[in-house]
Amino acid sequence: MKNLFSKKNLIWLGVLLVFFFAVQVMIDTRIITPYYRQVLYWVGIFVILGVSLNIIIGITGQLSLGHAGFMSIGAYSAAIVMRDMPDMTGLLLGMLVGIAISILISLIVAIPTLRLKGDYLAIATLGVGEIIRIVILNLEITNGASGISNIKNLISWPLLFVFVVAAVVLSANFKNSAIGRACISIKEDEIASEAMGIHTTKYKVIAFIFGAVLASLAGSLYATTYYVVKPETFGIATSINILIIVVFGGMGSLTGSVIATGFIGVVNMLLQSYAEVRLIAYALILIIVMIFRPQGLLGSKEFGLDRILGYKPPLGKKPRKEKSA
Amino acid sequence: MKRLVTLLAVLMMVLGALTGCGPKAAETIKIGVNLELTGEVSVYGVPERLAFQLAVKEINAKGGINGKQVELVIYDNAYDTAKAVENATKLATVDKVVAMLGSATSAPTLAIGPVAKQYEVLAFTPSGSNEKVTMDGTAVNPWVFRACFIDPFQGVVLANFASNDLQAKKAVVMGSSSSDYAKDLAKIFGDKFAANGGQVLGVEYYTDTDTDFSAQLTKIKGLGEFDVLFVADYAARAGLIIGQARAMGIDVAIIGPDGFESPDLNSLAGGAANVNNVYFSTHFSTLSTDAKVQNFITAYKAETGENPSALSALAYDAAYMLFAAIESAGTDPVKVRDALKATKNFAGVTGTISFDNFNNPVKSAVIVKLENGVQVQATIVNP
């Protein structure tokens, strides 16, 4: 309990509350127009996706390319449940259904595939994402290729805020927990951590499921924000987009993912009017940033209060020298 | 890091400067365009943008609508529903357009529909053929219109054409099991053909990734004599099926939906010589002798260097129907919607168009006959 109300947490709570009400006031006074609100929703949803993939890639060091697959599970669960219950209860129930299915599927997937390493794992997870998409494409309940439309729109700033903060705080706690430290050790050196008595497969599976659950949650929010879900939305391109967020923000840095998503959201917004050059400019910006910051915007550091308040980093979180990407 | 910040700052300023310029708003009538200009289905979005631009160029050359010039605000949604929603929100609330044109395919249009309804700016899709596009649950979404006929209509028209014009008694149906377009058409055609007194000998399904159809075609050949082969699919597979069927000696009439229309059909079929006795339904044929159609073809060719496809014709009609509505109702989005809804017997390049209760056009279809890969005959078929 003492830790819960530490100075640091109280400051964070204050910052979040101020941010929440500031945005709410700006929405009410129309300084944030409905269009900016749409951009905000996009950023919020992709923050959850980025942070959740960062748990798998950045913290645990397992390259997963099937993240959009888990997102689609959440999206379709919410869409299907909300077909009969188009209200908040339906959305929350849909989220729970999505989370349950994600846990089940990620468990089934994780146990065999996470014994693979590097490229092999990437290809296996790529396959999993495709399998999920193809299954959705051919199921009756998901309405095949045309997807589900007319999903009730329940997204709002408070709802988004609650889920984004919950996802980020959960991820931060995960990272700083004993499990998280075990995961980091797996990333640093799998053989050494195994020699230290860490059950590497177990922790990799835990991290994988954790990431999948959050991705599913983001998918549910996606469904209620954009009215329509269709299988193509959750293809490899979306998985790569989430990967870009993780690499761009810095692998292992949760706050990096948050900042990167905001940055990419703004860039996309500014480029919207230039259909022809949009993709070129977007890629160019990514390339330029990666040239100047090959380790991502924040590297593996976190943007936190520790440094501002002059706290010593806790054991095992010593800032490392970053030489290679 | 400092260099990076500088670089980004410069970039932002350049972009800001670019957005800053452009014609002043108040003098023009702004129409939003929300299309798939990049991504996997840009092949549908790009011709529609060209047609919109041609229509706007023409009307502006004639002095605009009620003396005001028309300006298009064009955004790319890349076949992404999230982008389609963002674009529609921006068009309706930031650009404050009179109406929105697009999208070309159904999925983004389904996402635009609720936004159109929320901000009360109509969305007009030239070619979104999914039945649900103009629906809001089970009722009609009063803010979404379309210029093309819907898939069930096409299946019915083709079945009638097979029974009446081709005098077919026995048919075989092939279709992709991967797309609803194919599955729905195969079913509707089969039902209607049977209702017309014909007999469907068999239905063969394959998936979108198949390129070899010899197994299905051998099976079909074993079914006995039949008069017509209905292929419910896009040109990517239909072309291959036509080529392989002809190579196996299946020489009956092959008929199909508007998905057949593609510049690649002949090469996929292994040469134009294979594309004989092939019919497909479409919205528009360049063979029409109507002066309006010929003028459109000439203008489109002059502007783009290509022959217009059905998509560009539909987009062209959509633009002019909208112009007519704006001309009679002014620039208030709600009044424009009412005027568009009241459109009666609009003479477009894709036929004479009115709207039914579900904002679907009531119009005729065109059945085109291909001989040696060339359109030789266009029959207008009413439902």
- The string of DSSP letters for A169-227 reads HHHHHHHHSHHHHHHHHHHH-HHHHHHTT--HHHHHHHHHHHHHHHHHHHHHHHHHHHS
Segment A56-78, tens digit of pLDDT: 999 999 999 999 999 999 999 99
Domain shared by B260 and B206, yes or no: yes
Question: Which among B40, B75, B181 is the nearest to A273, CB-wise?
Answer: B75
Of B203, B199, B202, the closest CA to residue B169 belongs to B199
Listing DSSP states for B77-139 in one string gives -TT-HHHHHHHHHHHHHTS--SEEE--SSHHHHHHHHHHHHHHT--EEESS---GGGGEETTE
Q: Does B290 or A25 have the greater pLDDT score?
A: A25
Residue B331 lies in domain: 28-149+291-363
Nearest Cα to Cα of residue B70 among B99, B48, B93: B99
Asked which of A2-11, B206-215, B265-274 is least confident by mean pLDDT, the reply is A2-11
Half-sphere exposure of A196 (CA within 13 A, CB side): 13
**What is the tally of structural domains in chain B?**
2
Judged by phi (left if over 0) then psi (alpha if -120 to 50, else beta), residue A30 lies in left
The residue to which tokens 């072309």 are assigned: B239
Whether residue B270 sits in one domain with residue B171: yes
- Asked if A35 lies within 8 A of B82 by C-beta distance, the reply is no
Q: What's the confidence (pLDDT) of residue A325?
A: 42
Any domain includes B103:
yes
Smallest CA–CA distance from B8 into chain A, residue: A285
A156, part of any domain:
yes
A269: nearest CA partner in chain B? B86
Q: Is residue B344 included in any domain, yes or no?
A: yes
DSSP A147: -
Please judge whether A233 and B80 are an interchain contact, meaning their C-beta atoms are less than 8 angstroms apart: yes
Residue B319 placed within a domain: yes
Taking 70 as the threshold, does the pLDDT of residue B2 lie above it? no
Nearest to B110 among A227, A232, A271 (CB): A227
Whose structure tokens read 């669960």?
A: A77
Cβ pair B114:A227 closer than 8 A: yes
Q: So what's the ipTM on this one?
A: 0.86
Helices in chain B by DSSP H: which ranges?
A: 2-20, 42-61, 81-93, 106-119, 151-160, 180-195, 214-221, 235-247, 265-268, 291-304, 310-329, 333-341
Is A134 contained in some domain? yes
3-state secondary structure of A273: coil
Whether pLDDT at B29 is above 50: yes
Which token pair is A293? 């910051």
CATH code: domain of residue B220: 3.40.50.2300
Boundary-marking domain end, from B282, B311, B335: B282
Amino acid at A9: N
Q: In this complex, do B119 and A34 lie within 8 Å of one another by their Cβ atoms?
A: yes
Give the nearest chain A residue to B129 (CA atoms).
Answer: A146
Which residues from chain B sit within 8 angstroms of residue A232, using beta carbons? 40, 79, 107
pLDDT at A15 over 50: yes
Contact A232 B40 (CB under 8 A): yes
The whole-number pLDDT of residue B8 equals 61
Give the neighbor-by-neighbor strand order of the sheet with B346-348: B346-348, B351-355, B361-362
Whether residues B135 and B169 share a domain: the answer is no
The residue behind tokens 């039949």 is B226
Tokens 């040109």, located at residue: B235
Tokens at B248, concatenated? 């196996």
Element (H, E) at B71: strand B70-76
- The answer to whether position A202 is within a domain reads yes
| A312 is a domain residue | no
Q: What is the mean pLDDT of chain B?
A: 88
Do B182 and B145 lie in one domain? The reply is no
Paired residues of B123 in beta bridges:
B100, B144
Q: In terms of residue numbers, what domain contains A166? A: 34-235
The average pLDDT across A176-188 equals 93
At B132, give phi and psi (nearest 5°). -80, -10
pLDDT at position B34, please? Answer: 95
B239 found inside a domain: yes
Confidence of residue A322 (pLDDT cuts 50, 70, 90): very low
Q: Which amino acid is at A198?
A: I
What is the crossing angle of helices A254-271 and A236-249, to 10°?
A: 120
Q: Are residues B38 and B130 in the same domain?
A: yes
State the smallest CA–CA distance between residue B308 and chain A in angstroms.
22
Please list the residues that pair with B368 across neighbouring strands.
B280, B378
Token pair 């036929």 is found at: B351
Asked if the model's pLDDT at residue A259 lies above 50, the reply is yes
Of B81, B93, B178, the CB nearest to A33: B93
Q: Rounded to 5 degrees, what are φ and ψ at A19?
A: -60, -45
Helix (H) or strand (E) holding B361: strand B361-362
Interchain contact, B18 vs A271, CB within 8 Å? no
Contacting residues for A15 by C-beta, under 8 A, at least 6 apart = none
Which pLDDT score is estimated for A324?
A: 46
Binned at pLDDT 50, 70 and 90, residue A205 comes out as very high
Nearest Cα residue in chain A from B80 = A233
Shortest Cα distance, chain A CAs vs residue B281, angstroms: 22
A2: its two tokens: 């003492």
Query: Is residue A195 a part of any domain in this protein?
Result: yes
Instruction: Show residues of chain B in contact with A153, CB under 8 Å.
Output: 114
Tell me how many residue pairs between chain A and chain B have CB atoms under 8 A apart: 108
pLDDT of residue B13: 53
Does residue A16 belong to any structural domain of this protein? no
Domain membership of residue B38 (yes or no) is yes
Mean pLDDT value across residues A234-258: 92
Do both B61 and B139 map to the same domain? yes
* pLDDT tens by residue, B332-364: 999 999 999 999 999 999 988 999 999 999 888
Domain shared by B264 and B349, yes or no: no
Lowest-confidence pick of A257-266, B35-44, B198-207: B35-44
Contact A229, A152 (CB under 8 A): no
> Closest Cα to residue A122, out of A55, A53, A63, A196?
A63
Same domain, residue pair B135 and B33: yes
Do strands B99-101 and B70-76 pair parallel, antiparallel, or not at all (unpaired)? unpaired
Least confident of A312-316, B113-117, B226-230, B287-291: A312-316
Residue B81 lies in a domain: yes
Is B325 a member of any domain?
yes
Does pTM top 0.90 for this prediction?
no
Contact assignment for B110 to A150 by CB distance below 8 Å = yes
Total count of domains within chain A:
1
Residues B312 and B204 grouped into a single domain? no
